Structure 1
Amino acid sequence: MVILALTFAAVVFMSLKHAILILLESQPGSGYDLVKRFNSGLGWFWNAKHQQVYQELKKLSEAGWLSFEEQAQDSRPDKKNYRLTPAGHAELQRWLADPVQPVRTNDALLVKLYGGNHTSLDNLREELQRHRQLHAKALDSLLEIERSYLALPAEQRGAWRLPYLTLRRGILGEQAWLAWAEEVQQALAE
């Protein structure tokens, strides 16, 4: 759903623990719920594997930042539904108030292009085309989320204004990447 995808797009530069705190501040849930939220929203900006989320939930609980209620399930182990404790909320507020450092890019495609004199132009063109397809697909997905957001009634859009701005950052980033790739493609054609 668009709202779920937009809700968590705002979290770009952080540690996994703070991403989890943001997710649980917005809505309590189980480890499984958090993995789904990562995949549907934060996955555009922050990646976490299933196992990492569960390990971090255990650490955050031990630190006193989360509490959980166990819910019995018939065919599976008991489900733990997590929520922030006052200490977890205080940590989240502390982190939100602290400045974050800009992320430096580690981009293997840029390294390949930089060292492109050591490979064939066809190899570089193929690699660039593969990346262009991935970025075009990501842009299409982000634009679909934007269309869904813009279709919401104005009174509902207001609640999602800040997450929408992070969506716009993603859209503009993909558009800029594709414009750059067009320049590279033209240069490789010469």
Structure 2
Amino acid sequence: MSLKHAILTLLETEDGTGYDLLKRFEDHLGYFWNASHQQIYAQLKTMHKGALIDCQLEAQDDKPDKKIYTLTDSGRQALSEWVQQPLKLGKVKDALLVKIYAGHLANKEQLLEEMLHYRDSHKRMLQTFLAIEDEYRNSSKKKQQELAMPFLTLRRGIIGEKACIEWAEEVINYLQKQTAGANK
């Protein structure tokens, strides 16, 4: 996936300024894809030159004109074609997994602290996802139908966070036994 496809996805549902897109990116896609505001604005410029999006200027008092981006027919077609193509599965690049793999070289107390932080971070993210799930379940049937596919991405996030917490508990239990044995 590219940033281009993420932006096309956001514009497919609603037009917006670069700032609007940045906020929607953070609020919706930011849980599983990230990009800086510089990357988003550079991509918007490239997509506009490529006629995937259009830009209307809206005058503002005492400020530069506001650029409102919309998806063009070409952009909609590009997004549709991308959605139809099978993706290669991404490989996991996780420095913590490499660190655990080489954990026999680590200070076990420090590694334990890092794992406690890791677990707690995933617990907080799980709580965030569960709150979003509650909002979805308490919304109207019409809204639930509109958000059915984004809800499925949320479910993936919930299941993933639970798995991360479960794995962290295994590592924490192991490290606690190691540090307890070393302190005897």
Question: Structure 1 length as normaliser, TM-score?
Answer: 0.90
Q: Report the counterpart of residue 126 of structure 1 in structure 2.
A: 113
Structure 2 CA distance, aligned partners of 1:155 and 1:19? Answer: 24
Structure 1 CA distance, aligned partners of 2:68 and 2:168? Answer: 44
1:99 to 86, 89, 94: 86
Identity across the alignment (%): 45
1:29 and 2:16 correspond:
yes
1:160 and 2:147 correspond:
yes
Q: Which range moved further: 110-119 or 15-24?
A: 110-119
Structure 1 CA distance, aligned partners of 2:143 and 2:117? Answer: 38
1:74 and 2:61 correspond:
yes
Q: Which runs of 5+ in 1 are unaligned?
A: 1-13
Q: Return the letter of the residue paired with 2:106.
A: T
Structure 1 CA distance, aligned partners of 2:81 and 2:88? Answer: 15
Q: Which runs of 5+ in 2 are unaligned?
A: 178-184
- CA root-mean-square deviation: 0.9
Q: Which has the higher contact order (CA 8 A, sep 6+)?
A: 1
2:158 to 171, 181, 189: 171
The runs of 4+ residues in structure 1 deviating greater than 4 Å are none
Structure showing greater radius of gyration is 2
Q: Report the counterpart of residue 51 of structure 2 in structure 1.
A: 64
1:89 and 2:72 correspond:
no
Q: Report the counterpart of residue 181 of structure 2 in structure 1.
A: none
- Equivalenced residues, count: 177
Change in CA separation of 1:86 and 1:155 when aligned onto 2, cut-off 3 Å: closer
1:149 and 2:136 correspond:
yes
